[in-house]
Amino acid sequence: MLVPSLLLFFASCQNAGAPTAPAPTAGTGGGLASIMAERGLSEADVLAAAKTYTPTGKLDDYVIFGSGGHGGNIVVIGVPSMRILKYISVFGPEPWQGYGYGGLGDDVLYEQGKQGGKEITWGDVHHPNLSETGGEYDGNFLFLNDKANARVAVIDLKDFMTKQIVANPLVMSDHGGAFVTPNTDYVVETSQYAAPLGGKFATLDKYETEYRGAAVFWKFDKVKGRIDQENSWAIELPPYAQDLADAGKLVSDGYVFINSWNSEMSAGTEGKDKPFTESGASQNDMDYLHVIDWKKAETLVAAGKTTTINGIRVISLADAAAEHVLTFVGEPKSPHGCDVTPDGTAVVVGGKLDTHATIYDIAKMQDLIAKGTFTGKDKFGVDIMDFQASIRGQKELGLGPLHTVYDEKGFAYTSVFLDSTVVKWNWKNLEEPIEALGVQYNIGHITAAEGDTISPDGKYVVAMNKMSQDRYVNVGPLLPQSFQLIDISGPTMKVIYDMPIPLGEPHYSQMMKADKLHTITAYTPAGTNPYTDTKSEFAVASGEEKIVRNGKKVDVYMSVIRSHFTPDNIEVNEGDEVTLHLTSMEQALDQTHGFAIDMYNVNVSMEPGKYEEITFVADRAGVFPFYCTEFCSALHLEMMGYLLVKPNGA
């Protein structure tokens, strides 16, 4: 047997020369056998450790981009070590990255991030999605949605910074998104809780007539690396609580699928004797999987068959239905998850309140649509396909199947929430028995190595668990969520690492090969504005630093280099508007400085070569040290200066 002999090998290496296994006394200083005895480790534990332990200096093979949930950020994690590599702040301020504390990022966070004119400083990140070329992750961009405030953000993976936030002008809540089409032509964002489009008011008794959902197709400009709002458009949808969404690929490229869970159009109690949405939305046996032909929608948009609501072109529900841009097929009640198979031939939808996952056959649905074979229409005139005629089959997976990911061998891995299991099943051969692996506990999303691409890698699956009860030291009643790394390379699945996620409820994540990243180590040339990718016209060359006063406006052109700021003393008058133009003169790897002004809520990060710009009104008189916040050199503490604000009338 491999396992014991391997252990014996380890043990004998560690205990070379020792005639018998040493007694378990010497802390972790003893041989392997004694450490195992002392720490109560099984052979499986040691094997798991060997599979995940990454010695100092060794790099991980994969990178996870995990949603930070209502932390409003992204967690970047190495696999298999499960070491946290970075948090990328997106919808909320974060001081280390200097995001939201006076620098250029303020425009993204506080201006672009506004919803209906309101400044919002948190987000509920659900589904990060990597940019794709030809259905493969290309390592260029990451998109994510904010369910709470219906926004989508763009992270540039060149420098792992949030470069754009786009506020959805139509809906008040999103969920399905941010999903990309296979060549990242569009970033798709679909609504969740229905409301009158464009932020209008209507009472709840008008739910059916006035409340709507929408699917927004954000056009992505791959050269600029930004969403092009002008060339984006949307499709009006019924108020059915659209849920998860996924784009077709290969043979199904051109389609988007969205599941939904409120065909009942329940809107809670209305203060009368109606049921809560919880049960009101669970009356019907079937909800509707939305099948969207987005290439056809594009032709309607090009032909001008849209109305503009709040600045965005919208295909009406009536037109979408009439033109078969939108068709429906039933899905067993209150579904969740919507995941297209790697070959693009099928889409798997979990049952949530059912024990099955349903495998829809996309070719069958295309055929029904082409032939005009429908069983009826919904209240809004959308044609409905026959359920049995649309599916390849159903597979019993356990209580509460949600999301599904894939490997390279033809297996699907579905998260089963109520059972707390990951279920492995063959989506091509539904007769094959399933394998269920217990996870701790109540798994929501699940992710797999390159799992959403046309060529998944297998190897690893991560269970993203909602509950962690007894897994970690008690840190108070607010428990961390828990990621569990699962080895799927062998004949049976094994949990090989537990990792607490202590900053928000993560939902989805994606796992990409680390060698697909092409991250920069410095901004070149020095003085590059990371938001324009060009050298700033305000960048300063060494020796040309200056302070320019123009009435009550003061511009400071400052260089930043180990270990000083030039100029290092800035004198202004109370009430002056001060703009600091900071240029890092560094190009060396990891030679980052910070720049903080005490008492002024100013703090930016100066990565090598970066240009930063801070504008503020010197409204408090006094003497304010400014200093470098990164321990950059032996003389880091000396990297400081003074902002002197002369009181009025002094």
Q: Is 445 in the site for ligand RUQ (CB under 6 A)?
A: yes
Four-CA torsion 505, 509, 514, 515, nearest 10 degrees: -150
> Whose Cβ is closer to ligand CUA: residue 348's or residue 606's?
606
* Residue 563 binds which of ligand RUQ, ligand CUA, none (CB < 5-8 A, kind-dependent): ligand CUA
Please report which residue ranges of 351-477 form alpha helices under DSSP H: 362-371, 387-390
Q: Which of 336, 364, 424, 610 binds ligand RUQ (CB under 6 A)?
A: 336
* Whole-number Cα distances in Å, 278 to 111, 126, 269, 275: 36, 21, 10, 8
Total binding residues toward ligand RUQ, as defined by CB under 6 A: 9
Backbone angles phi, psi at 13, to 5 degrees: -60, -50
> Whose Cβ is closer to ligand RUQ: residue 212's or residue 403's?
403
Q: Is 163 in the site for ligand RUQ (CB under 6 A)?
A: no
Instruction: Report the candidate in 562, 639, 559, 634 with the shortest Cα–Cα distance to residue 596.
Output: 639
Residues 90-129 close enough to bind ligand RUQ by CB under 6 A: 126-127
Q: Is 639 in the site for ligand CUA (CB under 6 A)?
A: yes
Q: Which of 70, 158, 175, 459 binds ligand RUQ (CB under 6 A)?
A: 175
* Secondary-structure percent of the chain, ordered helix, strand, coil, rounded to 5: 15, 40, 45
Q: Is 593 in the site for ligand CUA (CB under 6 A)?
A: yes
* Residue 632 binds which of ligand RUQ, ligand CUA, none (CB < 5-8 A, kind-dependent): ligand CUA
CA quadruple 343, 346, 351, 352: dihedral sign:
positive
> Whose Cβ is closer to ligand CUA: residue 94's or residue 586's?
586
| Cβ 508 vs Cβ 445: under 8 Å | yes
Q: Is 70 in the site for ligand RUQ (CB under 6 A)?
A: no
Q: Which of 301, 628, 643, 645 binds ligand CUA (CB under 6 A)?
A: 628
295-306 in b/e burial notation, b at 16+ Cβ within 10 A? ebbbebbeeebb
Query: Minimum distance from CB of 263 to ligand CUA (Å)?
Result: 59
Total binding residues toward ligand CUA, as defined by CB under 6 A: 8
> Whose Cβ is closer to ligand RUQ: residue 196's or residue 506's?
506
Omega into 24 within 30° of 0, i.e. cis? Answer: no
> Whose Cβ is closer to ligand RUQ: residue 140's or residue 404's?
404
The Cα–Cα gap between 91 and 574 comes to: 33
Spell out, one character per residue from 563 to 592, where the chain touches ligand CUA: x when CB under 6 A holds, - when not.
Answer: x-----------------------------
Residues 482-511 close enough to bind ligand RUQ by CB under 6 A: 507
* Whole-number Cα distances in Å, 498 to 124, 481, 565: 24, 10, 44
Choose the stretch contacting ligand CUA; rule: CB under 6 A; options: 93-101, 213-221, 374-382, 626-634: 626-634
Spell out, one character per residue from 91 to 130, where the chain touches ligand CUA: x when CB under 6 A holds, - when not.
Answer: ----------------------------------------
* DSSP strand pairing (577-584 vs 553-561): parallel
Total Cβ atoms within 10 A of residue 637: 11
Please report which helix (H) or strand (E) contains residue 317, including its range.
Answer: helix 317-322
Q: Which of 630, 642, 644, 646 binds ligand CUA (CB under 6 A)?
A: 630
Residues 530-569 close enough to bind ligand CUA by CB under 6 A: 563
* DSSP strand pairing (326-332 vs 286-293): antiparallel
Query: Minimum distance from CB of 587 to ligand RUQ (Å)?
Result: 41
> Whose Cβ is closer to ligand RUQ: residue 403's or residue 459's?
403
Q: Is 496 helix (H, G, I), strand (E, B) or coil?
A: strand
> Whose Cβ is closer to ligand CUA: residue 481's or residue 592's?
592
Q: Is 249 in the site for ligand RUQ (CB under 6 A)?
A: no
Instruction: Report the candidate in 542, 529, 547, 553 with the shortest Cα–Cα distance to residue 613.
Output: 529
| Cβ 419 vs Cβ 398: under 8 Å | yes
* Residue 336 binds which of ligand CUA, ligand RUQ, none (CB < 5-8 A, kind-dependent): ligand RUQ
Instruction: Report the candidate in 12, 53, 60 with the shortest Cα–Cα distance to residue 32.
Output: 12
Four-CA torsion 193, 196, 202, 204, nearest 10 degrees: -30
Kindly tell me the burial class for residue 142, based on how many C-beta atoms sit within 10 Å of its own C-beta (0-12, 13-18, 19 or more): buried
Choose the stretch contacting ligand CUA; rule: CB under 6 A; options: 119-127, 396-404, 616-624, 627-635: 627-635
Query: Minimum distance from CB of 15 to ligand RUQ (Å)?
Result: 46
CA quadruple 343, 329, 331, 211: dihedral sign:
positive
Choose the stretch contacting ligand CUA; rule: CB under 6 A; options: 32-40, 113-121, 615-623, 629-637: 629-637
Q: Is 290 in the site for ligand CUA (CB under 6 A)?
A: no
How many Cα atoms are found within 13 Å in the side-chain-facing hemisphere of 313?
A: 18
Chain centroid to Cα 456, Å, comes to: 19
* Residue 445 binds which of ligand CUA, ligand RUQ, none (CB < 5-8 A, kind-dependent): ligand RUQ
* Residue 333 binds which of ligand CUA, ligand RUQ, none (CB < 5-8 A, kind-dependent): none
Q: Which of 88, 215, 402, 554 binds ligand RUQ (CB under 6 A)?
A: 402
Task: State the amino acid at position 604 in one-letter form.
Answer: V
| Cβ 209 vs Cβ 289: under 8 Å | no
Q: Is 444 in the site for ligand RUQ (CB under 6 A)?
A: yes
Q: Which of 471, 636, 644, 646 binds ligand CUA (CB under 6 A)?
A: 636
CA quadruple 445, 258, 137, 346: dihedral sign:
positive
Query: Minimum distance from CB of 258 to ligand RUQ (Å)?
Result: 13
| Cβ 143 vs Cβ 187: under 8 Å | yes
Task: State the amino acid at position 514 in one-letter form.
Answer: A
> Whose Cβ is closer to ligand CUA: residue 403's or residue 593's?
593
Query: Minimum distance from CB of 444 to ligand RUQ (Å)?
Result: 3
Contacts of 206 (CB under 8 A, 6+ apart): none
Query: Minimum distance from CB of 580 to ligand CUA (Å)?
Result: 16
Q: Is 632 in the site for ligand CUA (CB under 6 A)?
A: yes
* Binding stretches for ligand RUQ (CB under 6 A): 126-127, 175, 336, 402-403, 444-445, 507
* Binding stretches for ligand CUA (CB under 6 A): 563, 593, 628, 630-632, 636, 639
